[in-house]
Structure 1
Amino acid sequence: MSYKERSIWVSLAITLYIWFNYFSELYWSSQQQSLSPERMQSALLTVVIWTIALEILHHLVIAMIDHKNANYDQDERDQKIALLGCKNGYYILSATTIIAVLHLLFPIMSQGLVLALNLPTEYIIINIIIVGALIAEITKFSTQVFYYRRGC
């Protein structure tokens, strides 16, 4: 397994773990009817800090373990795999951006979601964008892992 592929696997695991915790906290807060904008902001800030810290730590550890390949320049295959991952992630991000805009323009379409979460519309839109960015990032990492395993 190459240095780049190992890094992608760890980033995918970090992303899935941290954001699963974020959404499960929002879910349980919603179930207990204690979900508020302040609680959501606190959870989001925690996620951002943990993501940055774990990504820095993971790159340091992988660079110490495989220091020979840490400064490895991407070859044509790595660039192609990265582009395929970004392309697939971009499609997802574009679709969820359209969904967020539709939610903003036609709030009646998601009236049930607003009532269920009991949050202002701005926070619903923020979470739609967060979900879109998260799914796009997972799609990007998954596509890259797939092509590293299968080959281009």
Structure 2
Amino acid sequence: MSYKEMTIWSTLVVTIGLLSYYLLGINSLQAAGDLSQETMVSYLYKVVMIAVILEIIMQSVLASIKHKEADLGDDERDKLIELKSTKLGHWFCSAIILMCVFLATQIERVSGRMLLPEVSDLYNIMHFLIIGFLVSEIITIASKAYLYRRDS
């Protein structure tokens, strides 16, 4: 497996793990009755820090293992795969953003019936945006992995 594919698969695993960690953590905070705006924000900071640290460690390890391939640049195939997969992730992310904008315009109608009733409507919309962003990243990375496997 090439360096590019290894980084794609490891990033996919880390991103799926982060989404799972975020959702399970918010769910456990809600089940314990500890979910508030402050705990939600502090938990989000924790998830972001873990994401940055894991990505740095993962990229460093892979670059040290495949140091010759890591120095090579992208070819035309890599750029085309990047463009196609980014397009898919962008469409999903745009749809989530439009859904959240619509939700914000209808806030009087849906207030109190959100997914997380313990926090304000603004934090519920933020929660949807975070999930949407992570799923968009998963779509982008998974489509890269698929396109690399399909072309090889």
Q: Does the alignment pair 1:100 with 2:100?
A: yes
Structure 2: runs of 5+ lacking an equivalent: none
Residues 141 and 110 (structure 1 numbering): CA distance in 2 closer, same or farther, change over 3 Å? farther
Q: TM-score, normalised by structure 2?
A: 0.94
Q: Does structure 2 retain, via aligned residues, the 8 Å contact 1:63–1:70?
A: yes
Q: TM-score, normalised by structure 1?
A: 0.94
Question: SS at the partner of 1:68?
Answer: helix
How large is the RMSD of aligned CA atoms in angstroms? 1.4
Runs of 4+ in 1 over 4 A off after TM superposition: none
- The one-letter code sitting in structure 1 at the alignment partner of 2:113 is G
Q: Does structure 2 retain, via aligned residues, the 8 Å contact 1:19–1:47?
A: no
CA distance in structure 1 between the aligned counterparts of 2:117 and 2:24, rounded to whole angstroms: 13
CA distance in structure 2 between the aligned counterparts of 1:25 and 1:143, rounded to whole angstroms: 27
Structure 1: runs of 5+ lacking an equivalent: none
Q: Percent identity?
A: 32
Q: Does structure 1 retain, via aligned residues, the 8 Å contact 2:111–2:121?
A: no
CA distance in structure 1 between the aligned counterparts of 2:97 and 2:144, rounded to whole angstroms: 23
Could you tell me how far 1:144 is from its partner in structure 2? Answer: 0.2
Q: Does structure 2 retain, via aligned residues, the 8 Å contact 1:85–1:143?
A: yes
Could you tell me how far 1:111 is from its partner in structure 2? Answer: 4.1
Could you tell me how far 1:12 is from its partner in structure 2? Answer: 0.8
Q: Does the alignment pair 1:113 with 2:114?
A: yes
Q: Does the alignment pair 1:8 with 2:13?
A: no
Alignment partner, residue 86 of structure 1: 86
Alignment partner, residue 48 of structure 1: 48
